[in-house]
Structure 1
């Protein structure tokens, strides 16, 4: 695995197949280098997201509903990726549509956290991450520019709620291939602390499989608490968690919102989340301060036997600064 490899259609399909085998045998297919996102004007250290609504985890009806992002079709809606392959390290346009049960391009969506649709991109090794806000043309085609620094297999998640009465939130997923040479990277060890762009973020709490738990993330700078976080997409922070192996998608809500009379603008941002199973997850927190969005990332274990304990591990080293893209 130390020899650079070339992505082929077979390799990408094989990676997707192994990734889906999570429930059978904890198979992890790491593809793509662990590289922070490339620079993007006005933001730093890109990696995560959320949406508005009531506090607490964004739930989906049905006790047996699988985690988000594992299916390309759900409740009659289908994610149709028109650009399934892009080159590495080159700004390229992604185009996709959301089609309804009749095969028509959907053009009506509810706005959540100021956007009709949130688009997440993550490499299979969870080393590269993007939270994007594409634009929709009148005919229902979504598009956005993106540059990815590492070749390999990626997962693309479309997070949206159709405007149809009674429609629930959906997260549909599909595979994206980024051509070029690549070296797989190991997942960082679990840790309570990470640094990004001169900020230190500390995680308090633990993901629990099958049960709701509170995760608190405290933001400091130069040893001082940051108490003037900017509202960003209707919240002081947005958190996405992806399960290592199959990249099951867990999108959580912050507890409270700017202007509600009780939620403070830092230093602590609180979330409620439920892990769909035991396993290892990669957490991505977006927060904005002084007009710039930064993303802090953590590796955390969801372990039923240690549900009350904080995540173990050493401090995450401060990596090269990247940017949050839209």
Structure 2
């Protein structure tokens, strides 16, 4: 949690450490002489399951959030690829193993701590206390939600219509106390949606994609396991877009999932937010752990509308 998980990631680490990370990323980019290249060419807005949204809840209250820092999103990276249901004593637990096809569904879950009890204290990350993702196994379906938490620690994610097949659901969070305090976690489980499932081949890597009349272009040549910068540009009607509005304290939220196993990565934005005039170019810190094809999901807001562009990026 092309992965993810956007002035955007709150952090409790020191300014010195943040600057060291920025310097390291810049040095890597310079040494490798990064050139422009990069991803995909298909519209994602018309595909089923490509939904996104945020539900107003206790999880979205920014009270007690951590300071942003000078370079947003460069401070912390969740360890692992998000494919495990448990890590360091924390567990993503749910009784839901199947969800209905073709209709809205509520997915309920808890995060239990090392003591086996549901965790109820979560730090705010990108204005939310919980980021929830649902991704179909062939990466054609994607939903990014911000569920509501009940007093007993039970979260409810209200999913839009799901296509038949195997889905993986991810919980991205940071405990506010306990042994995992200030540590980013991305845990996941699988869920089945009954019905006739048709696997859709992943679109080949290209250079740009279109969504809702916007053209999204990605430049960069990331290598597996190494830090690389990526540049995303947004245009409409052949003209650069400069009216991107903040979304989750950033101008664009970018997550990635690996072809084959749906491993998760969150690409961190380094473009600072300053009012509702973002664009046309946005910079990201990319550190993708595995080579192969990654499906990127870029979310950005204009005129109060959230757009989701899907892109395929080849990682060497």
TM range (shorter): 0.7 to 0.9
Paired residues of 1:58 and 1:251 also in contact (CA < 8 A): no
Residue 199 of structure 1 is matched in structure 2 by 214
Q: Which runs of 4+ in 1 moved over 3 A?
A: 38-42, 51-54, 56-61
Distance 2:53 2:136 in 1: 22
Residue 131 of structure 1 is matched in structure 2 by 144
1:245 partnered with 2:260: yes
Paired residues of 1:85 and 1:179 also in contact (CA < 8 A): yes
- Cα shift at 1:148: 3.0
Q: 1:73 aligns with which of 86, 91, 102?
A: 86
Residue 170 of structure 2 is matched in structure 1 by 157
Distance 1:37 1:224 in 2: 29
* Aligned residues between the structures: 256
Paired residues of 1:201 and 1:217 also in contact (CA < 8 A): yes
1:36 partnered with 2:48: yes
Q: Report the CA distance shift for 1:266/1:169 in structure 2 as closer, same or farther (over 3 A).
A: same
**What TM-score do you get using the length of structure 2 for normalisation?**
0.76
- Cα shift at 1:144: 2.2
Q: Report the CA distance shift for 1:203/1:60 in structure 2 as closer, same or farther (over 3 A).
A: closer
Distance 1:56 1:273 in 2: 11
Q: Report the CA distance shift for 1:158/1:40 in structure 2 as closer, same or farther (over 3 A).
A: closer
1:255 partnered with 2:270: yes
Q: 1:55 aligns with which of 65, 72, 93?
A: 72
Q: Report the CA distance shift for 1:174/1:58 in structure 2 as closer, same or farther (over 3 A).
A: farther
- Structure 1 unaligned blocks of 5 or more: 1-33, 43-50, 304-326
1:119 partnered with 2:122: no
Q: 1:225 aligns with which of 218, 240, 252?
A: 240
- Cα shift at 1:208: 1.6
Residue 11 of structure 1 is matched in structure 2 by none
Distance 1:271 1:234 in 2: 14
Q: Report the CA distance shift for 1:72/1:179 in structure 2 as closer, same or farther (over 3 A).
A: same
Residue 100 of structure 1 is matched in structure 2 by 113
1:176 partnered with 2:188: no
Q: Report the CA distance shift for 1:231/1:141 in structure 2 as closer, same or farther (over 3 A).
A: same
- Cα shift at 1:39: 7.0
Paired residues of 2:51 and 2:160 also in contact (CA < 8 A): no
- Structure 2 unaligned blocks of 5 or more: 1-45, 55-64
**What TM-score do you get using the length of structure 1 for normalisation?**
0.73
Deviations 1:237-257 (A, max 9, x none): 110011111111101211033
1:215 partnered with 2:236: no
- Cα shift at 1:57: 4.8
- Cα shift at 1:215: 0.9
Deviations 1:203-254 (A, max 9, x none): 1112221111111111111111110100111000110011111111101211
Paired residues of 2:259 and 2:294 also in contact (CA < 8 A): yes
- Cα shift at 1:282: 0.5
- Alpha-carbon RMSD: 2.4
Deviations 1:133-186 (A, max 9, x none): 100011100002213341000010100000016431000011011111111111
User: Counterpart of 2:99 in 1: which secondary structure?
Assistant: strand
1:90 partnered with 2:103: yes
